[in-house]
Amino acid sequence: MADDNKEEAAKEEFIHKMRHSLAHVLAEAVAELFPGVKFGIGPAIENGFYYDFALEHHFTPEDLPKIEKKMKHIMAQTQKFERVELPRAEALKHFADKGENFKVELINDLPEGSVISIYKNGPFEDLCKGPHVEHTGKLKAFKLMSIAGAYWRGSEKNPMLQRIYAVAFETQDELNAYLKQQEEAAKRDHRKIGKQLEIFTFDDDIGPGLPLWLPNGAIMIEELEKLAKETEAAAGYVRVKTPHLCKETLYQKSGHLPYYAESMFPAMDIDGQKYYIKPMNCPHHHKIYGSKPRSYRDLPVRMAEYGTCYRYEQSGELFGLMRVRSMQMNDAHIYCTPEQFQEEFLAVCRMYLGYFKIFGIEKYVMRFSTHAPEGLGKKYVDNPELWASTEIMVRDTLVSGGIPFKEIPNEAAFYGPKIDVQVWSVIGKEFSLATNQVDFAVPARFELVYKDSDGKEKTPLCIHRAPLGTHERFIGFLIEHFAGNFPLWLSPLQVKVMSITEESEAYARGIEAKLKAAGLRAAGNYGSETINAKVREASVEKTPYMVVVGKKEMDAGTVTLRLRGGKQVFGVSLAEFIENLRKEAAERLLTGTYV
């Protein structure tokens, strides 16, 4: 196992170096093709790399093949990557003389005494800490993908640069597989399908990042809430409700303001007091816990809420339902003793696994995010002993529970370690879905206590968890995961009834009424269009079941079914059909009875 981890780490290190090196080759190719260009930064990123350029020429898609050709020519030259270290003053003069003002700015921002290094390959050189591959001949499969605008260092106050994005992999087969996946992902884009299926919309008069849920989306939300409420009730949770805004003092007490102020909407003045619309539910839940005395016999207290929160995401980071400014969160907080922690934490993880089964999520990993000692007092609560003991507790719990995880340093929440849940859709696209956090600091700020068996007051541990994340992100994921072909229980419209002739319309309408009486979401199409046109319309709506009836079905008292995938089933008893669909929906089955 240790050898496998070493091999995987070595592969990841090589791929990172390869992608970083390809960014330099991209910059060299652009410099040769477009003299006078100035350089921003060119890091390796997930699945590839990018480079930012300042030049008068505006890149077009037609430029990309030319740049790729030049890059391959450079790779064939097996140019060596050579590292050169310079004193600060010399490095500043070196780049200033070349008019590379962006590099000068980067050097000026480095702490005194920093090692300043330049990497050279062929005629190209760049301010860079490395590392790189040995030479350009070691670089592998890549493809330039797109062109975008990017403000220098992400600030709208700075110049707009041109960014070229690329992907890169160790083999051509891996690159081809990725490109095929991206092609399929584009077909499943939740923004496109969400519009087609009338699930959600955005409106300029409402504001960016503030989705409006249409009737179909509201049905999906209600079904997800029903699932969560049933699951949480069975697990011993109680439900609470909290307001959408509160006084500034609450977030001062919780400690959120110093860490989250930039992600919160500005305060509003009400009767001389500052109020914020809430960015998270946890301080409100702490107040509910503290509203009455608690005994060790009362613990654990599991408190759940689908609370709406608001966060100020930068406009450039908003993306459909995946990155929004208002979100309805499947939130809960578990207050427990240290002795109860392991079982409670594992129970949450098991809840995740149960949900994964319902939604057909087969690939997942728990990202265990820990703190970095140098961040204490700045990024993290300054209590090294509690950080150490809590991280050990979480790590031991994951190991003993057989939960797969990957440890990620310096990404914890400010009040404790956390688990970020990464899942993959059926086509292999990765999503950040939910979170599970341990809080050893904030309950003490609120003076939350329970009376233990020895009669002493003690502070409970708090587990923050959101297995279904937010409605926004989770429904966005589900749209892409199922390509809009939702399982019956989640489909906004479950059955479309269609009459072939005017003579069979009354029979069809009676079927629709019986389906609705049985609690199924049904609608009819009894217009004058041909049956083929009606079927096409229902197929575009991705309706799971289409009921087609004509004189033959009317005389026999049966229905003909047409499934979403095109399969037809003839001579089905209506009573049998209704019973099978009720069971399929009630059990939240992934695969239909008639498939």
The CATH-assigned architecture of domain 488-586 is 3-Layer(aba) Sandwich (3.40)
Nearest to 232 by CA among 177, 297, 168, 303: 303
Residue with tokens 């509003």: 268
pLDDT at 506: 94
**Is residue 216 within 8 Å of residue 484, measured between CB atoms?**
no
Taking Cα atoms as reference points, which of 37, 33, 9, 23 lies closest to residue 142?
A: 23
Query: 290 and 448 in contact (C-beta within 8 Å)?
Result: yes
What pLDDT does 2 receive?
45
Give me the amino acid identity at 365. V
Q: Where are the domains of the chain?
A: 2-181, 192-482, 488-586
Please name which of 421, 403, 413, 461 lies closest in space to residue 437, comparing C-alpha atoms. Answer: 413
Give yes or no for a contact between 320 and 202, defined as CB atoms under 8 angstroms apart.
no
The predicted structure's pLDDT at residue 1: 40
Cis ω before 279 (30° cut-off from 0): no
- Residues 104 and 244: their CA atoms lie apart, in Å, by 46
**In CATH, what number does 2-181 get?**
3.30.980.10
Question: Which residues, other chains included, contact 594 with Cβ-Cβ below 8 Å and sequence gap of 6+?
Answer: 545, 561, 563, 567, 569, 572, 580
Mean per-residue pLDDT pooled into runs of 10, the chain (595 residues): 64 93 97 96 94 96 97 96 93 94 94 89 94 94 95 90 96 94 91 96 95 97 97 97 94 83 89 92 95 96 95 87 94 94 90 93 88 77 78 85 84 79 88 83 91 94 92 95 96 96 92 96 92 92 94 92 91 94 95 79
3, 14 Cβ separation under 8 angstroms: no
User: At 414, is the secondary structure helix, strand, or coil?
Assistant: coil
Q: How many helices (H) and strands (E) does the chain have?
A: 18, 28
In this prediction, residue 3 carries a pLDDT of: 54
Q: Residue 4: what pLDDT?
A: 54
Same fold: 192-482 with 488-586: no
CATH 3.30.930.10 fits domain 192-482: yes
Give the number of other Cβ atoms within 10 Å of residue 303's Cβ. 23
